[in-house]
Structure 1
């Protein structure tokens, strides 16, 4: 022991008391860079594995994990630091990559795909093995081994053949090579090595070495191994709390209690889902019975109607037989009625005949008496005259009504012959002058029409210009634009490459006062169409045979020519223009600058004197002694845009519309005058068409009738005898008229009844014959049910005893029956569709491959519905509700208790660990370290537990179904928080992991029990201090986990540390190593070169890892204290 170790502490009796197991050797066969057999001896106290990066330190330490740990424990190799994911995933070091000796990844030259570069097993099978031999104080040895066979086709760890072995004693793995080809057959291997046991499961395998090596005595060996794995991994932690909860404490019992509750709650949910499913199925299938009843009834109705044969056009049918039977009954009734009515008519005829004879005699006697009275002849003449005047009166009224209608517009007031004569004279005068008046009216109308021609023509021109301008830029004359478009279409040249000069220049706003002068001087040039000179001959050739819509001037332009340098002259026409950017602009600028074009702009007529072309703002031009002035009558065409011109056109159109509206009013007035003359002519013609006023004078005729009636009445008032005779005669004539009408009526009825009788007899004979024939053939039968149905339906459309309406009624019945059958079939189809919709809904929700959505499967669906209803959904719901209450008590109560128990377990575990720590001097001042725990109070955790306790006491007995469902939904929401697949693992762990509900700190006390320091955050301390603190806390916890808290030293001593103490300096490294050794552990430390010097003084054995250029690793033992170079390689090229 070194001086420094002496200054730390020493545990008396470290070699006495219990038996302790230490790892003696590690054997490797074909593991990582170690090809063939390699044996690594370890010091019983401490061994340092060092070497350059990638030489194999982690490979050796991962071999320990591969042998001792479950496959769920990830390897600790540095090569895995860059990857994350599940344990031993394809992206990390794996058994397969170690056994084949994976070096790198390269691209296959043959396939071009990426492939592993390996030391062995590339094109053949290989094998490998790892063995740890342990030795105790009595020199007894015990070996734990893993054997592997790697087929050539192996692509993942699951493709390997793996054997787990324990050997009572030591073994040389090379002796097992002969069994590799047979994949380490159990019988062969155990026969050769009687002290070797093969285990089928990791559980049996681990339990064997747990028991033998004393791992977890009085505790859980699996927990101890998991802690060893975490210690070996050496994960960085930032606080004492993280260190203790992550490395010392196991998963609390709340998880198991929650999983048990979730399992049983899952059964409840399954039952609830099943019950809800049955209810949903019953709800979906509920209408099928009613729908099927409707379907069957409607189909039966359709079959009944179809059975009548109403659609049979020829041949007998039940409906035809029913029709004949009904008609026969009606004919019998009609015959009986006919004979009764015939007898009554005959009696009426005889009675009327007797009355006629008697009344005729009386009339003859009265007429004889009157013939002897002289005044009677006068009365008779007056009666004839009054009758004739009555006829004249009706004719006069009709003619007067027509006359008034035809002459209404003349407003005639005719009170007598004089007025009528004046009206006829006026009519004659009007008709004589009509032609002259009509001619004058027509001439006035024509003159008005002539006045409108000019504005109408102008309107057409403006509208045409508006349409033309609306589809293009510029304000060029529409006629010239139309010719341009014709040329463009015929030549295939884009219209933009055939611009007019006026479209390439514009008058800016500040020069609008010179617009008239510019339009005047450039009138002809602005209307010239420009053509690319290179295409001029082509254009000429194409247009020569064409009949253009007008004449157009054009000029070829050299587009390559540049504008001549010039100074802009504001007093010239060219200086007052803007130029559009185009291929033709240079030519336009040069052309406008020519002397014969570029007029000088002068302020008034006096400025026109002088040389060259000059122009005033009003458009008067002069060149020397030649001048011109006046309007051209053409619109302006110069400008890039036509907005201004379109506005002018719109304004002009508005003014023209006002003018035309005035013309339309004048024209309408003239037409009305002409029409009035024509109508007056017709009316006057009707006046002249009446020959005499009496023909249209009903008032005069009425006066004549009244006069004759007064004379007649006067004569009768003076002769009582005459008056009585005439009254008696009138009475007899009335009675005789009645008797005659009765006689002839009765006679006509008898004739009519006789004719009807003949028809009835003929019809009945035909009907009876047809019925007899059908009955004799027995081809058609009519059931009572059919007869009753047809009688009922017939009564709905006709009167049952109406023979005359029978045929019409039968037609209506046929239509009704056809419609009824079609309606029944439609309702049956609708019911079928309803059923199949239900079936599709059912299949969508609960697909059953044995069922379809066809109506043919109705019996199966009905059987399902009956089965659900028979089982009794209500009873099932009651049973489920009872189970819900039982579950909340049986599962949530234990879960609620598990939280308290888990905290108690953590607190209980602190006692033995603190007992161990109390015997270990800590730090330079040899203080004592103690772990202290504080339970955290968090609102959401408190709320979670409160809800858990409330739900654990839940009793749904007596609740309504809606309240039960609400309670169940509340439970489901709560259980989601602790489901692994619920709201996320973080939620589950947050609530269930009670390790997160506490805070652990380490407190250092001096010999008098005074608190010297509290350790909470590790991250703020130096690497050495942190390693020392970790060593004390974790080492003490490991002693407890191994079940040795009451022993002087642990039964199982090996502790592997991968890159341990990498941040510690020499002093702290020594104290950390001494802490582990003082706790009785055997240390195997993997460390990089830069920590070699701080660790080497504390190691009793130093092993140097080296790797050859070809990737083969080897282990070399060196003497402690020997200086090693910064980098080591080996000349070993692998096995020969």
Structure 2
């Protein structure tokens, strides 16, 4: 070797090597051999043998010592970190492909590939042999690349594990030869033939089997990898959480518990649906009971309606029978009285005739004649007085003389005839004028109403000046096209004259003209719109414009009126602009300029066409009829002005009509007076002549009827007897009338009784009588005078009650139908096909009974069972498992502390690992939720409180499982984060805590190294020791660049600690640390590098010592290095 490995004879005293067989567990598997083929700088096949009593890999810096350790880590670690000794055990600066290719210097970015030892097709093999007292385990991998690629995707691999009785032989050579001859298939065939050989396609599968064999967790070998070159610990928490403690996080279990709760939630939702279904059906049962009560009441009322007419008829029959008897008795009495009065009358009549005869004989005939004449004149005077009163009223009304003589009367008649001719002409003229005024009012009133309606319609559309009929037309078309009316704008609605161009407003309105009422219709709707417009009488001038929303940009004249417009934001504004561009006009200052421009427009509204044609449409004022604009202010202003004018005109016309009507009424009244006056005759009003005749007759009668004469006394006697006869006749007449009335009453009574008997029919049965009597318990007593009234009232009341009951039944029926509809919406399964008529109510009640008696109890029981037995237990088991795992960690660390106590850290001092529980806010919240859950489980509410509490717990777990990288989630479900770790330096004599550290920071390099070594030793023991065991099965640990900063005494304590924990160190160190290793190893693997190639040799310290002595004898002047 060019670079000699030199030691002095003094340094290689064989007596200093200590045996360590007794410190190694006989069942522990130790690394006995490592074989590499084409691995990094080790080209070809190399084999390193390790003494079970202790070995070290030594060699100069850069010789390839760590490369051998990286080969071992490649075999046992899932994601190995390479060359950690040079990086302090934290980051890897090499990769697998660099080792396979033999790249000299990882990370070389040179453009060439001179530093690559194996550039083309290549194969790499690694094999580690671990041996115990009676068994050996070989772990190997073959990598091959069939091209010059350096991409990991082009790398192929096969992993092997073999178990043998002894750690002998070189299986890697055999496997390489088999692979070379038969490839991967050949290896698998050999594995099939050998019982103790297995092949694996992936590193993951192989190392899973390796971990199973050594009964370690996933972190164990990763920690071994990191510990190989770790010189200090920044955080004990990080080491324990990420590398020492296995990942026992329950995130997946929490997700499973959450999923189980989702099943419970489904069950609860199903239960809640059933409850909602029951809740929706219960009102139906309640309303159905009310409906049945109302039906019974209605049935009773209907029965009473049938019974009461019969009952009242029977009551009437009895009452009329009684009345008939009374009338028969009254008739007998009346007839007797009539007979007596007739007898008296006959006697008085005989006396009266005798007295009258005597009166006549004394001169009474003349008095009677004069008296008759006086009576006639008296009646004639009364009629004449009435006529005179009316005559004089007419004369007063007509301003005529009221005197009662023939001459005045004749003069008045002649004057009336003249007045009649004059009044007739005036009346006809006044009526004609009245009719003409009324004819003018009708259209004016109609226009007034139209304006009022238009103003209301325009106010309802504040964003448009379009007249109401056109708005109605658009609304109808929009309904036909099934679009919103705003999608069919009129052209006038899309533009407005700019505020600084208002003096051009009237001219622009005229320029656009009738096109303002052109309706823009999207092209996709035009065919339907045209057919609809064509097939109906629209009663308007309809203008349509096919509008394409994606019409191109319009080009306006630089001086056109379109430049004076603002355009509304609308989907059809581009086609509107394009249309306006087509009718644009040049705006000129005056008529002189207009004469020189075709298609021009003045501010006053005059327009020019081609070749000297000019137009000015002055049918309306320039400031009237404006339609453009984004609001309705102009139209409202115009309509209100017209409405005000129309209102004023209508008021004036109403006043004129009223005046003319009053004139017509007066003339008609006067004409009526004149017609009546012309019908009078003077004899009808000659009151003086009649009064004169009456005075003469009265004088004659007085002379004939002188008092105290025989004639006067005889007259008085005769008149007295005449009066008595007349009185008896009146009495007889009265009695006969009474008899007739009694006969009529009797006849009516008999007829009424017969009718009542017929209506009443047979007597009511006991049940019916009881029903009627109960109904009439508080009613008035029936009499003949009140029976009909009571019957009408009571039957009317029953019918009113029937109507009220029917209304209530109808309302209840509607309520039941509505409730059935609601229930059907809630229960979309069983009731989906059931109707919602009143006949369907029993089916809903059956469904309610089924839910109440069977479905709900069953679902409640299922929910309660699942709640108690599944989800609750799942949560409890999950959280208990986390807590138990924390306890296991604490117990195992306590076991480590027992071992650490037996190892001296410093004289009289030892180290103690101190796990301390961490209670995160999220954990507090979870624990609070757990307590609430336990309390809720005791409530007797069908599990609802427990379910709600459990849901709260599960939501916390679900949230943690979904956000598993957050501190709060880790504190809940990862036992490693329930604890924080530190190390305490303890005084042995009294277990006093001298200091506590969370890492190896602070102090000298040696102090950092020894603290890191002790903590890593305990950590490795924890990670490599199977659960329940006191010693690990995998006994070899690697210490790369061990004791680089430690004294020999400290190194001895570290090695003692390793041995105490049952670990077998493999030291990797430069030549300068060789003195320290002699006390703790029996052999060395010497690594040497020449140029880009490395080689190794396994030697005992005795052989190394002999070679050293020989070297010293051969070159006595050579200084030991």
TM-score between the two structures when normalised by the length of structure 2: 0.46
TM-score between the two structures when normalised by the length of structure 1: 0.46
